[in-house]
Amino acid sequence: MSGQDARHGQRRRRAGRLWVQRLGFLLLGLAAVVVVAPILVVVVGIVARGIGTVDWEFLSAMPRAGMKEGGILPAIVGTLLLTLGTALVAVPVGVGGAVYLAEYARDTAFTRAIRLAIVNLAGIPSIVYGLFGLGMFVLFLRFGTSILAGSLTLAIMTLPVVISTSEEALRAVPTEFRTVAASLGGTRWQGVRTVVLPQALPGIITGVLLGLLRAAGETAPILFTVAAFYLPQLPRSPLDQTMALPYHLYVISTQVPGMPAGVQNGTAFVLLALVLLLNFAAAWIRRHFRRRRPW
């Protein structure tokens, strides 16, 4: 008798636990939908309303008629140049810093201060970078509002991402290989250059691309340092101003009355496509190289 009761109770508890599990799944699923849905709505909206405007002329022509017609070539070229300039500064400095932190630096008050600074740099709002760039590069160093000043500002903003992902990638390479390289008579740098860096490269490239795509989409840092409202020609030197996609989008969305929605959405679509392209490249590189690693 009592055994039967116990079995009955067990079955009831089991059913109760199943309900709790189902409820948990439902809530987690809802959370996922809440995260993804707005992104989907935005992307679908932009693509639906913008793709009609994007043709070869839109990508390759200068803006006309108060930017309401023609293309957005100078903004595309400007963003590409700024991204390139950012990479030229952020990659050597960032990867170099990561190699120092991961391979050479001992754990001292000094290196702890550096790490703290990197973490804090990553948390600074981008408008602060913009104002810093204005004060430091545009005014103090007299670069003027220029691609040089804008790239440097974006590079400083990108550095924390590049350094921390690169350091992570370097630390993921087993210590053993450094030991073996040393046991074969290699100096520490030879071990890093020929064994450790090649293995950390996929992770480093991924980090660099993720940092760059953030830089490509930022408006605030370029607001005072490089971005032009409208320029009738493409930039000719690093000391020229340039138009850029994010700032152009801001301008045509808020500063120009009577702007056709197609142009606005088309511009947003191009910026989105550019960023997504970088993102896919990062994902592909990561996947492509991961396959060979045994650890």
Partner 1 sequence: MAGDGAGVKFTVRELGVRYGERLALRDVSMDIAEKKITALIGPSGCGKSTFLRCLNRMNDTISGARARGRILLDGADILAPGTDVVALRQRVGMVFQRPNPFPQSVFDNVAFGPRVLGLASGRLLASLVESGLRAADLWDEVKDGLAQDALALSLGQQQRLCIARTIAVAPEVILMDEPCSALDPISTLRVEELMRTLAARYTIVIVTHNMHQAARVSDFTGFFWIGEDQAGLLAEYGATAQVFTRPRDRRTEDYITGRFG
Residues forming contacts to partner 1 in the complex (CB under 8 A) are 106, 176-187, 190, 194-195, 198-199, 292-294
Query: Distance between alpha carbon 213 and the CA centroid of its chain, in Å?
Result: 4
For residue 107, the minimal CB distance to partner 1 (Å) is: 9
Cβ of residue 286: shortest distance to partner 1, in angstroms? 16
Q: Which is nearer to partner 1, 189 or 280 (CB)?
A: 189
What CA–CA distance (Å, rounded) separates 242 from 224? 12
- Rank residues 106 and 236 by Cβ distance to partner 1 and give the closer one: 106
- The full DSSP string for 160-188 is HHHHHHHHHHHHTS-HHHHHHHHHTT--H
- Burial (CB < 10 A; 0-12, 13-18, 19+), residue 292, is exposed
CA distance readout (Å), 229 to 8, 223, 247, 254, 269: 76, 10, 8, 12, 20
Q: How far is the CB of 117 from partner 1 (least distance, A)?
A: 24
- Judged on CB neighbours under 10 Å (0-12, 13-18, 19+), 125 is exposed
**In the complex, minimum distance from the CB of residue 191 to partner 1, in angstroms, rounded to a whole number:** 8
Token readout for 54 is 């994007």
Residues 6 or more apart in contact with residue 92 via CB below 8 angstroms: none
Task: For residue 257, give both structure tokens.
Answer: 């009355």
Q: Which tokens sit at 51? A: 């793709």
Q: Please, what is the minimum distance in Å from the beta carbon of residue 115 to partner 1?
A: 18
To partner 1, the closest distance from the beta carbon of 193 in angstroms equals 9
- Distance of alpha carbon 189 from alpha carbon 45, whole angstroms: 51
Q: Which is nearer to partner 1, 76 or 170 (CB)?
A: 170
Q: Nearer Cβ to partner 1, position 139 or 195?
A: 195
Residue 118 CB, nearest approach to partner 1 (Å):
23
Which of residues 121 and 201 has its CB atom nearest to partner 1 in the complex? 201
* Nearer CB in complex with partner 1: 181/244: 181
Closest CB to partner 1 among 189 and 284? 189
